[in-house]
Amino acid sequence: MRSAARCGLRWAASLLAPLALLACALPAATDRTPGVPAQAQRGGGPAPQGVVSVSHPLAAEAGAQMLEAGGNAIDAAAAIQFALNVVEPQASGIGGGGFMMIHLAATGETFVVDSRERAPAAATPDMFAPGGVPLPFAVASTSGLAVGVPGTLAGVATALRNWGTMSLARTLAPAIELAERGFRVNRFLAADIAADGGRTSLQPETAAIFRPGGAPLAEGDWLRQPELAKTFRLIAARGPDVFYRGEIAAAIVEAQKRSRTTPAAAGVGRMTLADLDAYRVAIRQPLVGRYRGVTVVGMPPPSSGGLALLQMLAMLERFPIGDVRQGFGFGAPNTLHAMVEAMRLAFADRAVWMGDEDFVPVPKRGLLHPSYVASRAQRIDLARRMAAPAAGDPLPFDGGASKGPLRETAIAADAQEGAHTTHFSVVDRWGNVVAYTSTIENTWGSGITVPGYGFLLNNELTDFNFLPVRDPATGNPGANDVAPFKRPRSSMAPTMLFKDGRPFAAFGSPGGPTIINTVLNVTLNLIDHNMTIEQAIDAPRVSVTSAAGTVSCEGPAPLHTPRIPLAAQDHLRALGHPGLGALGTDGCTATIGSVQAVIIDLQTGRQYGGADWRREGTVIALPRLRPGRGA
């Protein structure tokens, strides 16, 4: 996406030719940038030199160090990702994949570095359902069969080489130090070890790190990872080749022959050295939509994140979501009901039409066509819950012919998707922005640590359909069926918001399919409910991730403010929405996502961050204030 106006060149223009700024249609003084903190300074003070917002303070520190040393947002993102591999190893790392959305201030371009894992050459559509019987998720996801060819290292290296200013070795340095010296286990890592579904004890190398002597690490324990430090040193010295073609590649291939059972009930991994050698990053154009005058830039396939988000926003734009006088507003029954219905419609489409478009045509134009979206949105009735919607038929709106209505039976049930992953956001002093969501899929991924190298392998391939559903007779394209070299459909949704061609917000979330709904909730909070970024993150979220699924919502107060009122919950129950428990009780008890965001005030150029208490979210804004000179 290229910024429409010269305002997209704002930072570069202001350095080179101050008069160029006059060509920009600056917003009126009263036109507040959504999300800017209420107490924000309206000018004065030192010029902003960048902000990082990350789910762990030590990884945030790694990114801030790069910015302070003169690096740009891409350098900082690289250092943060490597550091997260050390301090939040259960969520992301070089054994996984992700999507890095980048906005370059100098050119106004916005694009995505796609480092999503790929299926090996030997993958088959039925590999998770031998004999037509789907494997239990717990079995499949902890077998090497689920391990996709990892992309994170290739993605970070590609981004650094093309748009960064620092070497791979420089950005690895903080992670090496953290892994070698160690750090204190925080309560989130301790909780994830304690409630690991057995994943940290299945394989001896994983247990040795996170359950030394058989006891799970607890909050406050010191964790050193010398093998991971050695791996990072090796990569720093020899580059990504050692991972994709050298000794680490050989170790990965060996490791993914593991399974939780012997003999392997699920079969074992099919990845070869040739698969690692053949791994390629893709640079993708983002999806671009409009919502109430704001340009929303979202994640394209192989993620469903941007498509579903833009569909939901387009369906909700016909309702006065932010207007209390018209019976809407935050937490109002109408607002919640409309959101839930839009989610159910988008997820019905997602189940059938969204997947890796390098392999299956995804009717993006049709799915986002105003007439198609309007036909879907008209099914939202504020007085009743719709019967479980099937996927629609976007093909006539996509330049294709209708293949007739899809039969319900042809719609794939979502395989169970993990709740973890991580998201961080960065803006630098020049106005380059990164929104990066990355993952090893489930918390702890496959549970397999590469022996001798100290990093976890993903179980990303369980994001594919377990049972192939391609069926020309019903029109189901099998968009997310397994195929060799294909990327599994993701829900990851790094997102940026623009006004007048200039980015003012970047955010995203972990949480499997709930990611899309978390990003929707935050977007509405910013644009419709006029919240600051911290309010938008703190506020309780609502989510449903399939057409027939149960609704979950967050609570109770005071952690989540404002709370979702009991009367609103009862209204949803009365309409027939399942999942909220008995009338009169507080059914909002979930925890959904973890959003790390940066905000740029379009009026003053000042930069802010918002971080999520649902993890140890940390914002570091530069220059750092000296102790004793204010908060």
Query: Which of 421, 439, 443, 462 is flagged as catalytic?
Result: 421
Pairing of strands 597-600, 607-610: antiparallel
Shortest Cβ distance from residue 513 to ligand GLY (Å)?
A: 7
Residues from 277 through 316 that contact ligand GLY (CB under 6 A): none
CB of 93 to ligand GLY, least distance (A): 13
The CA distance from 424 to 506, in Å, is 9
HSE (CB half, 13 Å, CA atoms) of 533?
Answer: 29
Nearer to ligand GLY, 117 or 500 (CB): 117
CB 225 within 8 A of CB 209: yes
- What whole-number distance in Å separates Cα of residue 157 and Cα of residue 50? 22
Please tell me the distance from the alpha carbon of residue 598 to that of residue 51, in angstroms, as a whole number: 7
Nearest approach in angstroms of CB 309 to ligand GLY is 13
- Name the CA radius of gyration of the chain, rounded: 23
Rounded to 5 degrees, φ, ψ at 269 are -60, 150
Q: For the CB of residue 525, give the shortest distance to ligand GLY in the complex, in Å.
A: 22
User: What is the DSSP secondary-structure string of 35-71?
Assistant: B--TT---S-SSPP-EEEEESSHHHHHHHHHHHHTT-
User: Looking at beta carbons only, is 171 or 439 nearer to ligand GLY?
Assistant: 439
Q: Counting Cβ atoms within 10 Å, is residue 383 exposed (0-12), middle (13-18) or buried (19+)?
A: exposed
Q: Which residue has the tokens 């030192």?
A: 46
Q: What is the DSSP letter of 490?
A: B
Please tell me whether residue 599 adopts helix, strand or coil conformation: strand
Could you give the angle at which helices 57-68 and 73-87 cross, rounded to 10 degrees? 150
Cross-strand pairs, 590: 554
Least separation in angstroms between CB 437 and ligand GLY: 8
Spatial distance between the Cα atoms of 631 and 628, rounded to a whole number of angstroms: 8
The whole-angstrom separation of Cα 518 and Cα 80 is: 22
CA–CA separation, 456 vs 630, rounded Å? 41
| Residues 367-406 as x/- pattern, contact with ligand GLY by CB under 6 A | ----------------------------------------
**Cα–Cα nearest to 174, from 69, 55, 281, 49:** 69
Cis peptide upstream of residue 562 (ω within 30 degrees of 0): yes
Residue 556 has which token pair? 């109770």
Site track 451-490 with ligand GLY (rule: CB under 6 A), x = hit: ---------x--x--------------------------x
What is the spatial distance between Cα 67 and Cα 427, in angstroms, rounded to a whole number?
9
Instruction: Report whether 329 contacts 335 (CB < 8 A).
Output: yes
Q: Mask: binding to ligand GLY, 412-441, rule CB under 6 A, as x and -?
A: -----xx--x-----------------x-x
Give whichever of 88 and 441 is closer to ligand GLY, judged by the CB atom: 441
Residue number of the CB atom closest to ligand GLY: 490
C-beta of 418: minimal distance to ligand GLY in Å? 6
Q: What phi and psi values does residue 430 have, to the nearest 5 degrees?
A: -90, -10
- Min. distance of Cβ 629 from ligand GLY in angstroms? 42
Of 305 and 477, nearer to ligand GLY (C-beta) is 305
Contact 112, 492 (CB under 8 A): no
Q: How far is the CB of 63 from ligand GLY (least distance, A)?
A: 22
Closest CB 151 distance from ligand GLY, rounded Å: 12
Alpha-carbon span 261 to 267, nearest angstrom: 9
Diameter over CA atoms, the chain: 71
What SS3 state is found at 146? helix
Q: Least Å distance between CB 496 and ligand GLY?
A: 18
Looking at the Cβ atoms of 71 and 593, the one nearer to ligand GLY is 593
The DSSP annotation for 153-194 comes to HHHHHHHHHHH-SS-HHHHHHHHHHHHHH-EE--HHHHHHHH
* 93, 144, 512, 610: which one binds ligand GLY (CB under 6 A): 512
Shortest Cβ 141–ligand GLY spacing (Å): 11
Q: Is 165 a catalytic residue?
A: no
Binding-site size for ligand GLY (CB under 6 A) equals 12
Token digits for 604? 């003053």
**Which of 55, 85, 491, 517 contacts ligand GLY by CB under 6 A?**
491
Q: Which of 66, 123, 456, 492 forms a contact with ligand GLY (CB under 6 A)?
A: 492
Cα 480 off chain centre by: 18
> CA 521 to CA 519: how far, in whole Å?
5
Q: Residues in the site for ligand GLY, rule: CB under 6 A? A: 417-418, 421, 439, 441, 460, 463, 490-492, 512, 515
Q: Point out the residues that are catalytic.
A: 421
